[in-house]
Structure 1
Amino acid sequence: MREARESFIASAQDRSAGATRPAPRQPDSAPRSAPRHWPRAARVAPPMWPASVRLRLLAAALVLTLPAGCSLFESEGTRLPLQLVTRACAGTPPLEGATHLRLRVTGEGMAPLERLVPVGSPPEALEGVPPGPARVLEVRAYQNRPEEGGRVVALGRTAPFDVAGGAAPSQRVVVRRVNAFTPVSDVEHPETCGALAAPRAGHSATLLQDGRVLVAGGFALQAGARVALSSAELYAPDTGTLSAAPDLGSARAFHSASLLPSGSVLLAGGENAAGPLADALRVDLAQGGVASFPLERARSQHAAAVDSAGHVLLAGGVGEGGGVVAPAEARVQDGAAAAPVAVPLPRLGASALRTPGDGLAVVGGSDGSALVQDVVLLRFGAAGFESAGPPARLLQGRRAAAVAPWAGGASALVLGGFDTPTESPTTQRALATSELVALTPGARATPGPNVGARADACAVALPDGRVLAAGGRTGEPGTLPQSSDAAELIVPPAADASTPLPVVLGLARLEAGRWAHTCTLLADGTVLVVGGLKEAPGEVGVVREVLGDVLVFTPAPVD
């Protein structure tokens, strides 16, 4: 055994020096099939190196046999402790059918660090993670090895984190099935599904600066009647838990929610049993308080957006007496003060979003009597919000369409909607078309792909450019309204595609149809779907239920 070990070390030394050790030559006179018997005296013992040298040579030889990119001893970088959560409270188990896990760390100023391990042998830590900001750990579960065409069946990803020299915070990764809506669960008790303390619809769900989500207000049903809520809850993605947030002190539903640069959330307008509200609430979780400010006008079901400086635009909505609110309003100074808006914006069922160059756009809707095709462009200046040029224009007017940023925010994707200017359950028709409109002055929309016919869906732009559309309401003349359980991914066309149209991929349906729900993009690239109103035809009229479930959608990776 000692001879074999020393011969291996000697061979390693030869290889490291680039030498080739020839095999002993058999005498020409000997038959080729004869065994080689060498005299014992012909053996030459290798030199006896000191033990420390022999160990170094052995390590060098082993490193030469490892695959490229791997290292036996990783002395550089930081050790990153990790915990994988691979159980779920409902649906298909995350690792069912998976054979391998790929762990990958990426971040600013570092080459990707990858490990491929069998599903049954996940590591407790990753070694050699370079210090630096905005590191992300991704875990993919593959059905077969990825280099053999293995398919990703589950995925988990952290929010960005920083690694300091010598220490790294432990990272917990929740692995979920891809392209599926999975109920949330406490990571300490993953077999138990989480739910809202109070089922709600017509609420808001705002991603906070620390990665949590504030779910505020909304309505419940009592004896079939809507009752506005003043309660609020917090969802923490890192633990999968829901907890109580400070009470709003004022019940409201169908309000707008805007994250301000200070980290506070401005909840503007909304409605309760008395009608539309003429105040706004600033929720400051850091201080644990809620402040109230008067608005210039009462409004509910309006459009709202905020620019990077914290200027909030409130446009349209239902006002006192049920009429359309024409004057728009801006909120400044952390929501405490009003500023003028030069352009009147009477709108019902419109959407608002940010434009390139930090402007805002108000898309579609109706003015109460006719559908509006204009996309109004605004920018905040010395005199408040002013026109940023001639409006862009949609191909078709539509109310309650789903709108999401497209092409990095340079355009908007407009999906579905109703074809009537006001709510009319027996005559309105849900549209199955979409369009793309550049958010630049005078732009004209181009047709998009056909989608599931519905209005009031949620639409969320994912970091990779795709858009998730989920839920909503269907509608056909002469039929009762019904919530939709459909979900789709709208995928940008490939650079070499023969057609410039996006591709629509159908997804597994939601467990329950819903509208008046929320969809919120989380820091790890997943989407949080909260609550909503389920409506379905019953034996007599429409059966309604306010939902309390909380789901996470995990999109399959595109690479």
Structure 2
Amino acid sequence: MLAASLVSPGAALAQPEPQAGESAPPEDKKGEAASRFYFSHTATLLPSGQVLVAGGVDYASGDSIASAELYDPATRTWQPAGSMGADRHDHTATLLPTGQVLVAGGVDHASGSLASAELYDPATGTWQPAGSMGTARSRHTATLLPSGRVLVAGGVDYASGDFLASAELYDPSTGAWQPAGSMGTARRSHTATLLPSGQVLVAGGYTSEGDLASAELYDPAGRWATAGSMLTGRVHPTVTPLPDRRVLVVGGLSHAGYEARVEQYDPASRTWLPAARMNSARHAHTATLLPNDHVLVAGGNSSDGPLASAERYDPAKETWLPAGAMNRARTYHAAVRLKNEQVLVAGGWGSGGALSDVERYDPGTGQWTPGGAMQAARWQFTVTLLPNGQVLAVGGWGDVGARSDAELYDPSTDRWELVPAAMSNARTGHSATLLRTGHVLIAGGAGSDGVLVRAELFDPETMSFSLAAPMRHARTGHVATELPDGRVLVAGGADTGGPLASAELYDPTANVWHDARLLRTPRSKPAGLLLDDGTVLVVGGVGAGGIPLATAELFELFSNGTLCRQTADCQSGFCVDGVCCNAACDGSCDVCAVTTDIALIPIGARIPGTCEPIDDVACDDGDACTQSDVCQGGVCVAGEPKTCASHACDKVTGQCLTLCKSVRDCMDGKVCDRTHQCVDAPPDAYHHDTSDCALAAPDAPPPSPRALTALFVLALAALGARRPRAVA
């Protein structure tokens, strides 16, 4: 009741709900009372020093209310603050960096828990909608993250009676809500605390089984974001982007066997919806987007063996249409759309083993025609369309094991030509990614040498392979995707220990790999795709124990000001003071983070993620012999020098020397004698001896060459004068 004694009964913070038979507390006579007594509201301290009290339950009527009021501590008065679009109580209110207040969820008097959110702008004194959460909830928590986004977690949906484990993120810059995964335990009336690490500690609360003692951590920079779960777990599905930005996921292998079921992923809502089934169940097939936005699915494996059939998906009508049959049944083949808009299908595995034959599909006529055969039979290999229109086929399984060779297809001549020099390693299950330089990055895979860590670059100009920097982890059956900034994300796969959660980024400009944050679920043989917003979607695959996975995950490069742990987290490529930064910001008097308790820095930047110099902060100029160094104008200025008796201070250790080699090892006014001690300088000596010990004071001018020559002649004369004469 401390808050009630400071303001009024109507704005009591965290007031417990009155029980039957209780009466309202007496009005506080020290200040003006609010318009009425209510509870289960929120109270938010604004930058102006005023307190915004919003919503709640009217004690007299028992109805939830939409009105809001402002308390001014300076005048101890209350004034109206408009009304929200919906009456609500048991909601949350969060002060944003903009000064606005985000109110989310709660319960109204009619429909139960709310999904809606609203923004209060103190500058205008008005309320406006702030979108809707994916799930209606009340008695949840809302935590402002260092990135400026708001994490909403848990709660209860009174309409269904369900306790919630789900979490969502609100981004003030876009006004959008997105899923943020789920807690391990559904809970309401819990606490959520932002830790110095940037993580959020969720503790306690209540669930359908009673009070909770458990706690868990939300880590915004720790792992990939969840993208919901498919309706069916599947291995080796295909993923294809549709014109409306949805993603078509087709076929694969599930617990039920070969799949004909199809799903669509909506990136905007991060939800999955079923789509029309294919005419034939298939796995290890290909899917190619055609010029008319249809998706051509060809071949694959089935319960009856390899398939020759093909079909087209029409996203406008959401139906599947026959697309004829290939001349050869095949699976584990490769397909690519050529610049003439035809689809090239090559190799694979058929009834007779590894295949070398090729077919071309013409979307205009719907016909399949044979093409020139490859130089070598191969399956589970990669094909890459090069900028010059040719197609590079690399590695794969052959008749007698993994292959190290590669060949080029020229559509103008319908001929294949072996690349003169093979790769350094035979491999299959690798990835091939076209870089902006025109080179093709070949990474990982497996062969006679086991699972590979090696990567190679193919240069179309020289028709040759060269070694690239090796990956940080050996892997096969992974996904590789070029990001908008030209770096390549490699994720998942497997090694001899099973499916991997690790991911890494390749930087072509520096020829170096960086560890990236881990997948939430280790997975091998997933499918991956770059979405229009620059995030990477990874779906399905094989999990631990050989289980087909239904889960999907998203990798995004964080914008400046967002929490990070490593370089690979950031769009800029710079992770400084625990946040993504616009520059390397590696000076001792540079800072990039705003929140000092997270970055553990004395002064924060004014703009999150923007490197700027700081002043009047202790620093280290690199000289251990200066004390109390301080930042001035972004430069570390040396402080007072350490004082030593005779010998100088060692700039590395900061300790006074005990021996000298030259005058530079002595304090001012001292010289180094032949015993390597710093002593007072002789007043009439101006030369250095052969041991580099100076016999001249440091401030004395050096002798001229003429004076040194004269001294040398005089010394010789003196020696000659003292030489004994020979006896006759």
Place the TM-score, normalised by the shorter chain, in its bin.
Answer: 0.5 to 0.7
Whole-Å separation in 2 of the counterparts to 1:235 and 1:462: 20
Identity score, percent: 29
Amino acid at match of 1:282: R
Partner of 2:515: 506
Partner of 2:434: 405
In the superposition, relative to structure 1, how do residues 355 and 250 fare at CA in structure 2: closer, same or farther (>3 Å)?
Answer: same
Select the residue among 526, 537, 545 that pairs with 1:528.
Answer: 537
Contact 1:520 1:528 in 2 (8 A): yes
Whole-Å separation in 2 of the counterparts to 1:262 and 1:392: 39
Whole-Å separation in 2 of the counterparts to 1:346 and 1:469: 27
Per-residue deviation at 1:152?
12
Amino acid at match of 1:434: A
Contact 1:530 1:551 in 2 (8 A): yes
Q: Classify the secondary structure of the residue corresponding to 2:308.
A: strand
Partner of 2:549: 547
Which deviates more, 240-249 or 333-342?
A: 333-342
Contact 1:302 1:316 in 2 (8 A): yes
Per-residue deviation at 1:82?
8.5
Contact 2:246 2:264 in 1 (8 A): yes
Partner of 1:462: 483
Partner of 1:205: 239
In the superposition, relative to structure 1, how do residues 260 and 195 fare at CA in structure 2: closer, same or farther (>3 Å)?
Answer: same
Per-residue deviation at 1:177?
4.7
In the superposition, relative to structure 1, how do residues 179 and 523 fare at CA in structure 2: closer, same or farther (>3 Å)?
Answer: farther
Contact 2:335 2:383 in 1 (8 A): yes
Whole-Å separation in 2 of the counterparts to 1:206 and 1:212: 9
Per-residue deviation at 1:339?
3.0
Per-residue deviation at 1:395?
2.5
Contact 1:316 1:346 in 2 (8 A): yes
Q: Classify the secondary structure of the residue corresponding to 2:229.
A: coil
Amino acid at match of 1:512: T
In the superposition, relative to structure 1, how do residues 295 and 179 fare at CA in structure 2: closer, same or farther (>3 Å)?
Answer: farther
Contact 2:469 2:512 in 1 (8 A): no
Partner of 2:601: none
**Residues 144-543 of structure 1: pairs in structure 2 closer than 5 A:** 177=220, 180-184=223-227, 194-222=228-256, 227-292=257-322, 293-320=324-351, 323-333=353-363, 336-344=366-374, 345-381=376-412, 385-387=414-416, 390=419, 393-406=422-435, 408=436, 410-420=438-448, 429-440=450-461, 442-475=463-496, 482-494=498-510, 502-535=511-544, 543=545
Per-residue deviation at 1:433?
0.9
- C-alpha deviations, 1:21-57, integer Å up to 9, x for none? xxxxxxxxxxxxxxxxxxxxxxxxxxxxxxxxxxxxx
Contact 1:459 1:519 in 2 (8 A): yes
Whole-Å separation in 1 of the counterparts to 2:418 and 2:479: 28
Per-residue deviation at 1:86?
11
Q: Classify the secondary structure of the residue corresponding to 1:233.
A: strand
Per-residue deviation at 1:178?
5.8
Q: Classify the secondary structure of the residue corresponding to 1:266.
A: strand
Whole-Å separation in 2 of the counterparts to 1:287 and 1:392: 48
In the superposition, relative to structure 1, how do residues 524 and 177 fare at CA in structure 2: closer, same or farther (>3 Å)?
Answer: farther
Contact 2:238 2:252 in 1 (8 A): yes
In the superposition, relative to structure 1, how do residues 515 and 482 fare at CA in structure 2: closer, same or farther (>3 Å)?
Answer: same
Amino acid at match of 1:520: L
Whole-Å separation in 1 of the counterparts to 2:345 and 2:555: 29
| Pair member with larger Rg | 2
In the superposition, relative to structure 1, how do residues 241 and 374 fare at CA in structure 2: closer, same or farther (>3 Å)?
Answer: same
In the superposition, relative to structure 1, how do residues 213 and 85 fare at CA in structure 2: closer, same or farther (>3 Å)?
Answer: same
Whole-Å separation in 2 of the counterparts to 1:94 and 1:417: 44
TM-score normalized by the length of structure 1: 0.61
Amino acid at match of 1:181: W
Contact 1:179 1:554 in 2 (8 A): no
Partner of 1:22: none
Q: Classify the secondary structure of the residue corresponding to 1:309.
A: coil
In the superposition, relative to structure 1, how do residues 207 and 342 fare at CA in structure 2: closer, same or farther (>3 Å)?
Answer: same
Q: Classify the secondary structure of the residue corresponding to 2:501.
A: coil
Contact 2:488 2:505 in 1 (8 A): yes
In the superposition, relative to structure 1, how do residues 220 and 442 fare at CA in structure 2: closer, same or farther (>3 Å)?
Answer: same
Per-residue deviation at 1:289?
2.3
Whole-Å separation in 1 of the counterparts to 2:288 and 2:420: 24
Q: Classify the secondary structure of the residue corresponding to 2:326.
A: strand
Contact 2:456 2:465 in 1 (8 A): no
Amino acid at match of 2:297: L
Per-residue deviation at 1:200?
1.1
In the superposition, relative to structure 1, how do residues 216 and 123 fare at CA in structure 2: closer, same or farther (>3 Å)?
Answer: closer
Whole-Å separation in 2 of the counterparts to 1:409 and 1:296: 37
In the superposition, relative to structure 1, how do residues 275 and 265 fare at CA in structure 2: closer, same or farther (>3 Å)?
Answer: same
Per-residue deviation at 1:98?
0.9
Amino acid at match of 1:487: A
Whole-Å separation in 2 of the counterparts to 1:306 and 1:83: 40
Whole-Å separation in 1 of the counterparts to 2:480 and 2:522: 15
Whole-Å separation in 1 of the counterparts to 2:490 and 2:500: 11
**Residues 66-81 of structure 1: pairs in structure 2 closer than 5 A:** none
Whole-Å separation in 2 of the counterparts to 1:438 and 1:450: 19
Contact 2:472 2:515 in 1 (8 A): no
Amino acid at match of 2:370: P
Contact 2:519 2:553 in 1 (8 A): no
Per-residue deviation at 1:335?
8.0
Whole-Å separation in 2 of the counterparts to 1:309 and 1:206: 20
Q: Classify the secondary structure of the residue corresponding to 2:541.
A: strand
- C-alpha deviations, 1:390-424, integer Å up to 9, x for none? 55642222111122112x1601111111113xxxx
In the superposition, relative to structure 1, how do residues 553 and 121 fare at CA in structure 2: closer, same or farther (>3 Å)?
Answer: closer
Per-residue deviation at 1:246?
1.1
- C-alpha deviations, 1:469-518, integer Å up to 9, x for none? 1111213xxxxx62122211112235xxxxxxx22111222222212210
Give unmatched runs, 5+ long, in structure 2. Answer: 1-128, 150-168, 176-196, 200-218, 558-569, 573-581, 583-728
Whole-Å separation in 2 of the counterparts to 1:335 and 1:83: 47
Whole-Å separation in 1 of the counterparts to 2:365 and 2:540: 27
- C-alpha deviations, 1:268-310, integer Å up to 9, x for none? 1111111111111111111332122101111111122112332
Contact 1:261 1:309 in 2 (8 A): no
Per-residue deviation at 1:254?
0.8
Contact 2:402 2:426 in 1 (8 A): yes
Contact 2:248 2:263 in 1 (8 A): yes
**Residues 110-149 of structure 1: pairs in structure 2 closer than 5 A:** 122=172
Q: Classify the secondary structure of the residue corresponding to 2:549.
A: strand
Per-residue deviation at 1:445?
2.4
Alignment length, in residue pairs?
377
Q: Classify the secondary structure of the residue corresponding to 2:547.
A: strand
Whole-Å separation in 1 of the counterparts to 2:365 and 2:553: 31
In the superposition, relative to structure 1, how do residues 122 and 210 fare at CA in structure 2: closer, same or farther (>3 Å)?
Answer: closer
Partner of 1:61: none
In the superposition, relative to structure 1, how do residues 94 and 208 fare at CA in structure 2: closer, same or farther (>3 Å)?
Answer: farther
